[in-house]
Structures are given as structure tokens and as C-alpha cells.
């Protein structure tokens, strides 16, 4: 059977706000519900037209968060809701899995993305053995030899040393990310929905000096607030439609989902797996970097982004032209969907764009989009 085409026909998100900021008191399902409805309202479609909802969440308490988001949004109780927990790659994976449903002819319109409240995340306590006092941990282990008492950023230290990345290189990447974000702040208004009194900007971007960078390193160590994407709250969702929907309705903007997949690799080197995934995506679709207009690359850590660029040979001018997560924030389960949302609003004139993100445990997800 011939695979049907799938398109993103709408995309919206909240501003991305560091933990304890303007979104700190909004439960994740309420945040998601508002953006789900916003994405629909932008194309003037009723929620009765939605066949399924995919929601990525990493820091919540489980319990099929997608079902809770769907019901809070006022959708039909016949829509089950599909929850995705693949940590950082989850937001992009929700879109990839929803796309497959459209391509296989199982649905015509699906809302997919992610939502995260770092501010309201529940405490996680894990016993090592039955009846022992549990330990308070921010995260579970992501592979058999992983120690969840250690920060994920510890992997960056060894990669930075192995590939000889200097503090100066890190600083220049970080400063560039912030400067691009400051310059582009007003351009984000189209994709951002002001929720609960927030503004249509991401508030974190700022001027950064070498002195501030080094002070942060001295205080916090090799991964610090200046070279690491800040913990954040936020939600982002896209509406994915079949060609039938695209032909039926008059749409102001439409982007084809050309390809997308998730691959697994060495858990110890998960930060650089997007480089492999991006190269594989090019080969699979008989493309070169000359064919790609824009790459939205997740900047969880400055060294990680630098290495992904170097190892994949991406021209730097094409990466995050409006800044990345270092200057925006990292709402874990939503971050991949934030990349796709921005790409949707940025692409025009039949251009090709790519989104790429790494996930703890040895994962990388990529998405290839083409504007109509």
C-alpha cells in the first residue's frame, strides 16, 4: 500500500520559561490543554475533527498524561490519548509516531507534541531494596550501568576532553546563541501563545560576558548555568494532517513531513548521537547540507551542540539561526516539539528544514520538513 503524505498545518507553543518563572503555577495538563486548543483555533477546526492526541512528558507523575490533557482540553472522551516518555526526544517522537498513523491511513488529523512543568514536577523517591528508606532523586536510571545520583552532564566532561573542546569555544557558542535569540525575540511572536498573562517572548536570552561565564564555571563545575540549557516549563503542539484535510481546507501555511526517525546508540555518548542521525537522514533522502535551509539542533549543553555540528559537518550558519535551548530553556518532554514548531514557522518557499535532538540512554531523533 502506498504511504500517504502527512503535513503539519498548524503549530503553537507557550513561551519557554525557566523553572520558577511565569509558568510555575500552571499544571502540565492545563498548559497542554490551552496549546492543544490554540493549535486548532489557528486553522479554524473544531476539536471534533481530531482523531488522536500524542503527548510527551518526562518529569510528571505518569498515569497516562495524554488522556488527562485531552479531557482537560474538552475533546471527545472517545479520544484515548497516547502518552510518550522518551525524555528529551519525546516531543519529536510524539510527532514522528503520529505521522506514521497519518501515513498508514489510520487517522486524518492528530495533535502531537509535549508539555513539561519542571516547576511542579513531583518528587521521585527510589528504594534500592525492599523496605529500605528511599532516596530522593531527580531522575531514574537510563541504562543498566547509569547512576541516577550523578548529573547527566558528567558525560559532557569526558566528551569535552576527548574532542579537545576549549572553554573559549563553549563561550563563543553560548554567547552566539544568546545574541541570536535577543535579535530574533520579536519574530517568535507568531508561534508563541501568551498563556496566563505571559508575554509572547522567551524571557531567558541575555547579554553574556566571558567574566560571567568563568564565574559560573568556578562556582558550579564543568556543566554550569552558562553552558547548559536551563530547566524550564513549557508546551508545544503541532497539528498533523493527511492530504485529504489539506485539500479540503484553505490553509495559510503547510509543511510536509518528509521523514523522521529515532535511532539508538552508545548510552555513554548519547549527547553526540544526533550527528549520526542527521547524516543518516541526509543519506536516506539523497540530500546534502546544500539542500537544507535550516537546522534546529537541541542545545542541551554547549559542548554537545558544538560536537554535533563538527561530527555531522553541518554549516554553522544553518544551525539555530534564531538561537537555541541554551538561550531559551529545556522543558524536557516538550523540547523536541519546540524545535518542530519553530521550524514550521520559519520555513518558506519550498525550503527544507531539519530538527534534531539527543536523549538520555542513547537516543537521537530527527525530523525532515519541506514547506509547500
The closest alpha carbon to 261, from 372, 172, 370, 365, belongs to: 365
Tell me, yes or no, whether 233 lies in a domain: yes
Please report, for residues 257, 319, 369, the alpha-carbon distance to residue 238 in angstroms, rounded to integers and kept in the order given: 12, 21, 13
pLDDT at 230: 95
C-alpha cell at 59: 518529569
Tell me the pLDDT tens digit for each residue of 17-45.
999 999 999 999 999 999 999 999 999 88
Tell me, yes or no, whether 133 lies in a domain: no
Tell me, yes or no, whether 28 lies in a domain: yes
Distance CA 359, CA 185 (A): 27
Q: How many domains does the chain have?
A: 1
Q: Which residues contact 130 (CB under 8 A, 6 or more apart)?
A: none
Tell me, yes or no, whether 70 lies in a domain: yes
DSSP string, 276-293: HHHHHHHHHTT--GGGEE
pLDDT at 141: 86
Range in 112-116, 219-223, 314-318 with the lowest mean pLDDT: 219-223
Tell me the pLDDT tens digit for each residue of 115-135.
999 999 998 888 888 888 888
The closest alpha carbon to 265, from 284, 286, 279, belongs to: 279
pLDDT at 197: 78
Distance CA 82, CA 343 (A): 24
pLDDT band at 1 (very low <50, low <70, confident <90, very high): low
Residue range 192-196: mean pLDDT, rounded: 91
Tell me, yes or no, whether 247 lies in a domain: yes
Whether the pLDDT of residue 271 is over 80: the answer is yes
pLDDT band at 315 (very low <50, low <70, confident <90, very high): very high
Q: Which residues contact 316 (CB under 8 A, 6 or more apart)?
A: 309
Residue range 66-72: mean pLDDT, rounded: 96
Distance CA 165, CA 8 (A): 37
pLDDT at 216: 93
pLDDT at 338: 98
pLDDT at 341: 98
Q: Which residues share a beta bridge with 10?
A: 239
Residue range 273-290: mean pLDDT, rounded: 97
Whether the pLDDT of residue 196 is over 70: the answer is yes
DSSP state of 63: S
The closest alpha carbon to 154, from 293, 304, 322, belongs to: 304
Tell me, yes or no, whether 218 lies in a domain: no
Mean pLDDT (the chain) is: 93
Distance CA 4, CA 24 (A): 41
Calculated CA dihedral for residues 93, 94, 95, 97, nearest 10 degrees = 80
Tell me, yes or no, whether 211 lies in a domain: no
Please report, for residues 16, 138, 266, 282, the alpha-carbon distance to residue 198 in angstroms, rounded to integers and kept in the order given: 10, 27, 40, 38
Range in 181-195, 278-292, 299-313 with the lowest mean pLDDT: 181-195
Phi, psi of 209 (to 5 degrees): -110, 160
Tell me the pLDDT tens digit for each residue of 330-372.
999 999 999 999 999 999 888 999 999 999 999 999 999 999 8
Q: pLDDT over 70 for what percent of the chain?
A: 99
Range of the domain at 65: 6-121+229-371
Distance CA 312, CA 326 (A): 20
Task: Please report, for the domain that includes residue 81, its CATH number.
Answer: 3.40.47.10
First to last CA, the chain: 24
C-alpha cell at 360: 538520555
Range in 76-80, 180-184, 323-327 with the lowest mean pLDDT: 76-80
The structure's pTM equals 0.96
C-alpha cell at 261: 526517525
Distance CA 370, CA 368 (A): 7
Whether the pLDDT of residue 189 is over 90: the answer is no
Amino acid at each position: 500500500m502506498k504511504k500517504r503524505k502527512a503535513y503539519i498545518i498548524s503549530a503553537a507553543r507557550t513561551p519557554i520559561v525557566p523553572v520558577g518563572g511565569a509558568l510555575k503555577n500552571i499544571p502540565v495538563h492545563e498548559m497542554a490543554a490551552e496549546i492543544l486548543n490554540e493549535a486548532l483555533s489557528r486553522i479554524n477546526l473544531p476539536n471534533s475533527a481530531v482523531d488522536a492526541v500524542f503527548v510527551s512528558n518526562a518529569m510528571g507523575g505518569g498515569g497516562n498524561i495524554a488522556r488527562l490533557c485531552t479531557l482537560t482540553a474538552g475533546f471527545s472522551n472517545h479520544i484515548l490519548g497516547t502518552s510518550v516518555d522518551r525524555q528529551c526526544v519525546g516531543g519529536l517522537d510524539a510527532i514522528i509516531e503520529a505521522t506514521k498513523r497519518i501515513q498508514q491511513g489510520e487517522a486524518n488529523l492528530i495533535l502531537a507534541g509535549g508539555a513539561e512543568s519542571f516547576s511542579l514536577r513531583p518528587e521521585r523517591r527510589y528504594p534500592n531494596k525492599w523496605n529500605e528508606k528511599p532516596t530522593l532523586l531527580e531522575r531514574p536510571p537510563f541504562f543498566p550501568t547509569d547512576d541516577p545520583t550523578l548529573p547527566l552532564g558528567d558525560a559532557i566532561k569526558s566528551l569535552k576532553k576527548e574532542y579537545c573542546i576549549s572553554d573559549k569555544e563553549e563561550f563563543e557558542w553560548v554567547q552566539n546563541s544568546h545574541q541570536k535569540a535577543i535579535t530574533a525575540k520579536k519574530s517568535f511572536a507568531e508561534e508563541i501563545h501568551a498563556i496566563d498573562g505571559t508575554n509572547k517572548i522567551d524571557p531567558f536570552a541575555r547579554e553574556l560576558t566571558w567574566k560571567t561565564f568563568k564565574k559560573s564555571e568556578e562556582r558550579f563545575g564543568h556543566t554550569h548555568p552558562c553552558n547548559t540549557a536551563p530547566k524550564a516549563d513549557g508546551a508545544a503542539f503541532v497539528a498533523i494532517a493527511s492530504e485529504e484535510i489539506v485539500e479540503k481546507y484553505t490553509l495559510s501555511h503547510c509543511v510536509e513531513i518528509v521523514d523522521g526517525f529515532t535511532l539508538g546508540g552508545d548510552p555513554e555518548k548519547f549527547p553526540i548521537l544526533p550527528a549520526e542521525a542527521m547524516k543518516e537522514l541526509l543519506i536516506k533522502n539523497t540530500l546534502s547540507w546544500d539542500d537544507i535551509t535550516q537546522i534546529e539542533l537541541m542545545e542541551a549543553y554547549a559542548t554537545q551542540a558544538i560536537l554535533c555540528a563538527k561530527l555531522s559537518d553541518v554549516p554553522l550558519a544553518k544551525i539555530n539561526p534564531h538561537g537555541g535551548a541554551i538561550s531559551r530553556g529545556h522543558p524536557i518532554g516538550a523540547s523536541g516539539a519546540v524545535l518542530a514548531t519553530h521550524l514550521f514557522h520559519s520555513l518558506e518557499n519550498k525550503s527544507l528544514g531539519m530538527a534534531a535532538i539527543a536523549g538520555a540512554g542513547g537516543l537521537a531523533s530527527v525530523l525532515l520538513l519541506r514547506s509547500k
